Structure 1
Amino acid sequence: MTGLSVEMLAADAPEPISSAGHAQLGIAVLAGIAVIVLLITRFKVHAFLSLTIGSLVLGAVAGAPLDKVITSFSTGLGSTVASVGVLIALGAILGRLLADSGGADEIVDTILAKAGGRAMPWAMVLIASVVGLPLFFEIGIVLLIPVVLLVARRGNYSLMRIGVPALAGLSVMHGLVPPHPGPLVAIDAVKANLGVTLALGILVAVPTVIIAGPLFSRYAARWVDVPAPERMIAARPSEDLEHRPRFGATVATILLPVVLMLLKALVDIVVDDPEDTVQRIFDVVGNPLVALLAAVLVGMFTLGRAAGFTRERLSSTVETSLAPIAGVTLIVGAGGGFKQTLIDCGVGDMILDVSKAWSIPALVLGWLIAVVIRLATGSATVATVSAAGLAAPLAAGMSSTHAALLVLAIGAGSLFFSHVNDAGFWLVKEYFGLSVGQTVKTWSVMETIVSVVAGALVLLLSLVI
């Protein structure tokens, strides 16, 4: 960041609501995060309430008037939900259509019919990556793990050899690729270009998922050799359907929003004229809200109607898809409120000053902040939104490419070493029938590999583009 950029940032920034020095602000940040961690991990308080209380503690310790702290938190929550909440809802609807119509099963069955032997781990990575694009991580696990167990049992494969690639595909999509909530919030916080972030996210995701999935699964299968637990092998979700969507139509529906957003990014680069009619058209159709809405509307026909859904069944599917995401939306919103409180208290400027004094590259600092919060809270989403708020000032003066890389560095850090304070840890443990130690050797190590490899690739890209 140039000196001119810093001066411009300081001139344009609003007056902080706190006049505390760096030491007090540092203590305030630690106190706020500590409260969030204790409430989530020790007292099992919901993350939404924990983030709300932690924001108030942060402001109080920073010496800011509480009425201004409340205003900052409410403003951040409202703006975050306004920018991301609708996208979360549309993604949930598309994911539910995919699951209930049997479209996910069609993808799984088609790929598995063409794969076997040594190709099976690679097939599982492909399945998880494609299906994981529109699905939240927890939904993806619930949807795919029964399939993983069936494949391992019927094909006599090592459970870890099949399961780790599937988990890697879901995790990488969740942390690095929009329209998942974490990356979307980070994009909004650092003012990055969504299309550029999406393109670079896919570029980083491919080698990351290969290393953490099929390659690492060879070692994971040696370290932990367990059979698929019979009690967890359930009936497929679409076995009661008379028809299933076709493979090509299903894949095209899932990839539609991704293609539209990538086309917008490409047109922005090639045309580079905000007044050009073609660019203005693609600015609309490539907007994530429009792209996801288009996928949902198309999916009602290519997925729902193809499976024989009546209008009433489609309406019911949409309705049931929205209830489970209320918690996710509130957590993401509260994370945005915490982020805004950090910024308004002056913590962003403090981070900016410290990073200059320590000469820590912005991408490394963003990754490290996300790692610390991830280890403390266990939530990749909380780590992403909090780290994005802290690192946002570092993006001032960055090119669109490097701002996108900062988002990916934060996303990579948010996946580091999942352990006992992460709900995903226990989901994997229970579905695979593992002990805590076996889960650490497989799932936790895999998450760490994803984080480190993705972070290293982001740094490498920053040197060449």
Structure 2
Amino acid sequence: MSLAIVAFGVLLLLLFMIKFKLDGFISLILVSLIVGLLEGMPIEDIPATIYKGIGGQLKSLVLILGFGAMLGKLLGDSGAAQRIATTLIDRFGKKNVQWAMILTALIIGITMFFEAGFIVMLPIVFVIVVQTGMPLLYVGLPAVIGLSTTHSFLPPHPGPTAVCGMYDASVGGTLLLGLIIAIPAAILVGIYYSRSKWVTSCESSIPNGLTTSKVFTDEEMPGFGVSLFCALFPVFLIASATLCDMFLPKGTFGLKFIDFIGAAPLALLFSVLVAVYLLGLRRGSTMTELSASMKNSIKSMAMIILVIGAGGAFKQVIVDAGVGRDIAEIAKGIDVSPIIMAWAVAAIVRTAVGSATVAITTAAGIVLPIVQQSGISPELMVLATSCGSIFASHVNDPGFWMFKEYFNMPVSQAIKVRTTYTCILSVLGLIGVLAINAVIG
């Protein structure tokens, strides 16, 4: 019954937004209330669950989105994003711009969380679109898919790393095997899927206020080196913290300090300050001009932040209603390969609940007792579980709303693109795990 109510909630949300053209933020909150009531949650608990979902979704993400918007605006208004974009186009050629995007995303995404990497790459994507006239999805989707793949398949990202601990798997071994699967999967989906008519027929556009319409002359733009440094400075800080966490002794002051400056929100804050000086003050801009630019970037983010937060509310109502527990009980009686079991349970929970974290931990808890007895590599079991947890991102996933809002797409077409590519990535990941297991098993 719980699953049927969730399905009804999804259909109701689509009806509100597609048929009645109701605002996404209002639609998500209304459906969260309705689903909570139908699931039998005490009426006095539903508002608290909604607040918890919004707060849990936005607790650090709101800082990432805010500072990321400021950094993107500084890169755009100074001409730095145009400098990076034109250099990439010159080096790779216009016809290979998708390869440039996916390569950059894979490098950034190994150590950088999806949301932070997404925010860092968007200004470059937007300027390339303006400069070349190419469709936004054609340029941006390979970058998003590259980031999705690394975030979902590979440690040290949270989901795979957590399951490594549960399965007693090697983080390094999981990373190496994951790269064997992730790189081909990202290329197949990021390059070839993004060129399909299924994608190219969809509408997308750059949201107002997130880029500049000015075309800079070569003399007006900062150099490539300083432009790239400002864009990748948060990547450097976050990557340093990630690598130091893996190799430095725990509890030392040095590690604590690196973790402090490498936390994604603070890394972006420090990057904004660096960009203010290198791209602004040092080149003759006044603090008044720079502050006005950053303020405008935040104004354009207001509805995006609200919609993402409301997506978190919808997810939390489904989680607190116990849908994941219901699926877990059903799955315990099924006798299949541990790899397929881990993937399938994670995929079903992800589709129903919308949370990759809930999906991966639920699936890991179910298959944990049989991992050691099965003789299957625990590293492959981590990858199977992780791959399942990215299946079918749709309207109950806050990441879906982030994708939809930044690509300025109708909800039906965002489902067409985002839900499909996450399903394809997930299935390709399972195939890769089964193939490697057949070779090394």
CA contact (8 A) 1:94 1:134 kept: no
SS of the equivalent of 2:300 reads helix
Structure 1 residue 69 displacement after superposition: 1.4
CA–CA distance in structure 1, aligned partners of residues 383 and 232 of structure 2: 21
Gaps of 5+ in 2: 109-115, 165-170, 202-210, 369-377, 396-402
Distance 2:322 2:65 in 1: 30
Distance in 2 between residues matched to 1:279 and 1:78, nearest whole Å: 28
Structure 1 gap segments, 5+ residues each: 1-22, 150-158, 226-233, 374-382, 417-421, 430-435
User: Are residues 367 and 454 of structure 1, via their aligned partners in 2, closer, same or farther at CA, if it must alter by over 3 Å?
Assistant: same
Tell me the equivalent position of 1:315.
Answer: 291
Q: Distance in 2 between matches of 1:447 and 1:79?
A: 23
Partner of 2:144: 171
Letter in 2 for 1:361: M
Cα distance in 2 between the residues matched to 1:332 and 1:83: 13
Deviation at 1:363, TM superposition (A): 3.7
Cα distance in structure 1, aligned partners of 2:101 and 2:259: 34
* 1:66 partner SS: coil
Aligned to 1:457: 429
**What are the equivalent positions in structure 2 for 1:404-415 lying under 5 Å apart?**
409-411=388-390, 413-414=392-393
Distance in 2, Cα, partners of 1:326 & 1:205: 34
User: Shift in Å at residue 88 of structure 1?
Assistant: 1.4
Distance change (3 Å), C-alpha of 1:307 and 1:400: farther
Task: Please state if 1:339 is matched with 2:315.
Answer: yes
Q: Which moved more, 1:445-454 or 1:295-304?
A: 445-454
Q: Of 127, 132, 138, which aligns to 1:148? A: 132
Alignment RMSD (CA, Å): 4.9
SS at match of 2:333: helix
TM-score, scaled to structure 2: 0.69
Confirm whether residue 393 of structure 1 aligns to residue 370 of structure 2. Answer: no
**Alignment CA distance shift 1:283-1:361 (3 Å):** farther
CA distance in 2 between counterparts of 1:446 and 1:146 reads 23
Q: Cα deviations across residues 165-205 of structure 1 (Å, max 9, x unaligned)? A: 52332332564567x9xx9xx959x9789xx89x89x9576
In 2, the alpha carbon distance for the partners of 1:342 and 1:447 equals 19
Moved more, 394-403 or 338-347: 394-403
Could you tell me whether the CA contact under 8 Å between 1:209 and 1:450 is conserved in 2?
no
Which range moves more in the overlay, 336-345 or 404-413? 404-413
Q: Contact (CA 8 Å) 1:166, 1:213: kept in 2 or not?
A: no
Cα distance between partner residues in 2 of 1:306 and 1:192: 47
| Superposed displacement of residue 322, structure 1 | 0.8
Deviation sequence 1:345-400 (CA, Å, 0-9, x none): 22221122233334663444444565x68xxxxxxxxx9x5565566533559899
Shift of 1:99: 1.6
When structure 1 is superposed on structure 2, of 106-115 and 61-70 the one drifting more is: 106-115
2:80 to 97, 100, 103: 103
Aligned residues: 387
Q: Of residues 227, 237, 242 in structure 2, which corresponds to 1:260?
A: 237
Q: Do the aligned residues in 1 keep the contact of 2:394 with 2:418 (CA within 8 Å)?
A: no
Structure 2 CA distance, aligned partners of 1:425 and 1:286?
A: 25
User: Which is worse superposed, 448-457 or 303-312?
Assistant: 448-457
Check if 1:135 corresponds to 2:119.
yes
